[in-house]
Structure 1
Amino acid sequence: MFTGIVEELGTVRSIRRGPQWAVVSIGANTVLSDLKVGDSVAVNGVCLTATAKDSTGFTADVMHETLDRSSLGVLTPGSHVNLERAMAAGGRFGGHIVSGHIDGVGTIAQVRRDGIALWYTIEASPALLRYVVEKGSITVDGISLTVAWVEAHRFAVSIIPHTASVTLLGEKGVGDVVNLETDLLAKYVEKLLRPQEAPQPERNITWEFLAEHGF
């Protein structure tokens, strides 16, 4: 579990790809302080497991489902990535509940400055945006942000200069793809409220059954 508060920008050292998988090596500093092999790290919002660690970074495997759902497939050596360790039980909950399970991707349609703030308009599918509400929370490339407004095919967020300077979002512009994770609570509420289909009884009517019961 994560909170969407990015701890540092890492740098992809190398990436090895197979037909339906990838192994990525990421240079880091802050997240290495207590990282152990087997620990979870959010990389651009995607929960990955550290499979190896050295003094300057760590390595993680990326499976087919993750490549299909996220933007990790376009990473190249030198790419910057947002990094956050899994939340400690006694840590501060600075963002919102983030699982690290990406729902899909969006595309930045507009970036504009408003005083000290930067506004990002992001296009995404209606199937994903059904879980996005105005003034609710959304995770963009692993960053916990507040939704300013939402429409059928897009939504907007606003960030302060600090967020732009310490996260990958400050480097992105129109046309760039971002990973999106909607509010986890919204998906659970929908599941609980959705009418469940009643189980259909087995239909084993045969001529023998009818004859046995006097038909």
Structure 2
Amino acid sequence: MFTGIVEELGEVTAVEDLGDSSRFRLRGPVVTEGARHGDSIAVNGVCLTVVDHEGDEFTADVMAETLKRSSLGALTTGSRVNLERPTAVGARLGGHIVQGHVDGTGRILARTPSENWEIVKVSLPADLTRYVVEKGSITVDGISLTVVEAGPDHFTVSLIPTTLALTTLGHKQPGDPVNLEVDVIAKYVERLLGDRAREAGK
């Protein structure tokens, strides 16, 4: 489990096409400290497994399903990525509960700068609209953010200078893809209420 609090802005140092999958090598001095084979690291919000690591770099295999459902397939050598290790038991939950299981992708639609923050508008797939509410939580490229406006096909978030400086959202431009993970609690509530409604209708 992650919290959506990005630990560092890493870099893709190599991408190997394996046919039905890809192998990524990524640089991240913070997240590789003490890393071992089999550990999990979130890359732009996608939970990946460490295959190997050497120095401040680690490799991870990305299956076709993940490439299809996320924006990782668009990464190339030199791409910057958000990196986060799983939260430790007993640690503070600084963001919200993030699984690292991407629900879909959106695209940056617009950026509106202000003196001390920036409003970013992101497209929202139709099947995720019902999970996004104003002042609710959403994960964008692995970053735990609060929804400012929830529209029928988009949402907006307000980014503080720290987020702009230390994550990929400080660099992405209109048209760029982003990974989206909605609040898992909303999905569980929907499932439970649906099951209760079906039982009541028997």
User: Structure 2-normalised TM-score?
Assistant: 0.95
Unaligned runs of 5+ in 1: 199-215
Deviation by residue 1:122-153 (Cα, 9 ceiling, x = unmatched) = 01212112111110000000000000011110
Larger radius of gyration: 1
Q: Equivalents in 2 of 1:19, 1:129: separation in Å?
A: 33
Asked if the contact 2:139/2:180 (under 8 Å) is kept, the reply is yes
Shift of 1:187: 0.4
Q: Does the alignment pair 1:32 with 2:32?
A: yes
Q: Which amino acid aligns with 1:122?
A: V
Unaligned runs of 5+ in 2: none
Q: Equivalents in 2 of 1:73, 1:158: separation in Å?
A: 27
Report what 2:192 is aligned to. 192
Report what 2:138 is aligned to. 138
Q: Which amino acid aligns with 1:83?
A: L
Segments ≥4 residues shifted beyond 4 Å: none
Identity %: 52
Report what 1:11 is aligned to. 11
Report what 2:90 is aligned to. 90
Deviation by residue 1:23-70 (Cα, 9 ceiling, x = unmatched) = 000011011112111010000000000010101210001011111110
Report what 2:76 is aligned to. 76
Report what 1:107 is aligned to. 107
Asked if the contact 2:33/2:56 (under 8 Å) is kept, the reply is no
Q: Equivalents in 2 of 1:32, 1:43: separation in Å?
A: 13
Q: Equivalents in 1 of 2:33, 2:18: separation in Å?
A: 30
Residue aligned with 2:174, SS? coil
Residue aligned with 2:105, SS? strand
Shift of 1:115: 2.2
Count of residues in Structure 1 that have an aligned counterpart in Structure 2:
198
